[in-house]
Amino acid sequence: MSSNRSLGAMALLMAGILAVFGWGLVAPFAYEPVGPRAFPMLTAVLIAFCGIVLLIGGGNDTEAVSRRTMTGIVMLTVTLLIYAVIFERLGYVPSTFLMSGIVARIFGASWIQATLSGAVLSVGSYLLFDRGLDVVLPAGILGGLF
């Protein structure tokens, strides 16, 4: 089995697990228009679709990744794990600012570009979710600033 097909099978497995856990998410009262089940189910469908494409298409075996690429992948994974840990404590805006800035740096952005993109992405997406979609996000250390 090619590595692409293996990845497709793993994606289908992960989509199934996500769907099982996501289906059980029920809010005791409607505090958001979409509800907590929508995001994991939509994500599961997208992951399953990509897994099926990889299983059917297969493709050729890929070359081994370089040390630099593997370092970037590890750094992105660690950044995402840290983001998950600090998200509730710091709040959405500060943690997203830090995460997106670090990710921008990993992809080669300058410090100024990383800082600006982190600020625009964190504040802009917070306002979109909070004001536009009426989705409650943790305020964290910024309290009632927004």
Q: Which residues of the chain have pLDDT under 50?
A: none
| pLDDT given at position 21 | 86
CA distance 64 to 10: 19
CA atoms within 13 A on the CB side of 93: 17
Beta-carbon contacts of residue 68 (< 8 Å; ≥ 6 apart) = none
- In the chain, what are the domain boundaries? 3-57, 67-142
